[in-house]
Homo-oligomer: A and B are copies of this chain.
């Protein structure tokens, strides 16, 4: 008989929700990590099979896969809470604000700031779309988070390129530069069907497919977009399908305005959905018909959208409300269970981003991306059902430790990857410049 096996990190005690195929839940459980990979998971009684360089005592905690945020714009944290409650916000206010302020330095510093909120609330994987995306990659690598960084492509001059769809060349360079990073997946991110030429979309799809990568785009998000393509092609999705730009590999953010024929097209092209219920509601848009996407077997993940839209990067607020909104939309209170919602906030999101084999569940062979949440807090107990607790009771405040790729990126509620005070001071300086710019927007 052999003795205990060595590992780097052993998490023992606590309730361990795996989100594996058999919905295994070990209470108490253990998790063993070696070289960033989960090498053991099971009942705590079996933890003795391992000796560890470091042990995390999870007594009183919920241990679960880290959350996966399938769509955001991290650097827009710089503008959070500005210019609220107005019509036509994006084109009238946000684009000019970005034109005036968005530099590589702002993107790096604001993304780094935003990543603190992401990590501290227990999100281990994110998908970003913005300008100067190499700066987002740099910030994420520094914070130690896993992410898709998507270079924005638009047909008009953008903060990071004067050339129409100059983001394509920038994006292809990004794909080359970051292709071998263990945490960062660089991708192309055309902005939307109404801001990018269909020929460019076909190029994006082809270049992405050649590299085995997904690509991301806002789809059927706004009413003007929907009216335009409904007039020409019956719907936004039908327009994309007709133009040969519905895949392969598309992660469509929002997908609010769709009909049943669209759902079938989305399924035929294996489009994945990044659902942003909080941001959509704040913009006064209808509840996206996620129930139809699920019925059709589409991959659906959850997302905060950018912190200007949401207005935060707290995915707990999204997973809490996503099932409620689908219950409202369908009137079926017994559907959209807490268990299914938690899967969508973790493994489901990973599958949307093409990372289902890498992260999203606690299983041997997967990268070690997980969180420990204090389950003894007043807002958490009593616990009768860990899925209901995670979905409806947990708040960011309950997250204590966060591990990505086997490394503690949040320890006892603090970022380990950078100096919190410095990152906060950066945002104060950015906000001062932003305030001055907004003051110039006098009506």
Where the two chains meet, the residues of A that have a C-beta atom closer than 8 Å to any C-beta of B are 77-87, 89, 113, 116-117, 120-121, 278, 280-287, 310-314, 317, 320-321, 323-325, 327-328, 330-338, 376, 378-379, 381-385, 388-389, 392-393, 395-397, 420, 424, 427-428, 430-431, 434-435, 438
Contact = CB atoms under 8 A, between A and B. Distances in A.
B392 A311 contact: yes
Contacts of A384: 79-83, 431, 434-435, 438
Given A379-B313, A393-B311, A282 B87 contact: no
A385 B335 CA distance: 38
Contact of A392 (B87, B310, B325, B438): B310
Contact of A395 (B388, B392, B397): B397
A194 to B, nearest CB: 19
A115 to B, nearest CB: 9
23 contacts: A78-B382, A80-B384, A80-B393, A81-B388, A81-B389, A84-B337, A84-B338, A84-B385, A87-B333, A113-B381, A117-B378, A117-B379, A121-B379, A281-B321, A281-B325, A282-B324, A286-B331, A311-B392, A312-B392, A314-B395, A321-B321, A384-B431, A395-B396
Contacts of A338: 84-85
A333 B284 contact: yes
Contact of A332 (B116, B284, B313, B328): B284
A71 B83 CA distance: 32
A284 to B, nearest CB: 3
A357 B254 CA distance: 45
A283 B327 contact: yes
Contacts of A327: 281-284
A434 B383 CA distance: 11
Contact of A334 (B85, B285, B325, B336): B85
B284 A427 contact: no
A220 to B, nearest CB: 16
B85 A337 contact: yes
B337 A431 contact: no
A334 B89 CA distance: 10
A312 B396 contact: no
A81 B117 contact: no
How often does this chain occur in the complex, in copies?
2
B333 A85 contact: yes
A164 to B, nearest CB: 30
Given A80-B381, A81-B382, 16 more contacts: A79-B384, A81-B383, A81-B385, A85-B333, A85-B337, A86-B334, A89-B333, A117-B379, A121-B379, A282-B324, A282-B327, A284-B331, A310-B392, A381-B431, A382-B428, A382-B431
A412 to B, nearest CB: 14
A337 to B, nearest CB: 5
B431 A383 contact: yes
Contacts of A87: 333-334
A401 to B, nearest CB: 16
Query: What are the 10 tightest A-B residue pairs by CB atom distance, in nearest-first order?
Result: A397-B397, A382-B431, A284-B333, A281-B324, A284-B327, A311-B392, A82-B384, A81-B388, A116-B378, A117-B378
A431 B80 CA distance: 41
A323 B325 CA distance: 14
Contacts of A396: 379, 395, 397
Contacts of A428: 381-382
Contacts of A388: 81, 84, 311
A310 to B, nearest CB: 7
A321 B279 CA distance: 11
A381 B77 CA distance: 8
Contacts of A84: 337-338, 385, 388, 392
Contacts of A313: 379
Contacts of A328: 280-281, 284-287
A385 B116 CA distance: 22
A152 B435 CA distance: 52
B337 A430 contact: no
A257 B38 CA distance: 51
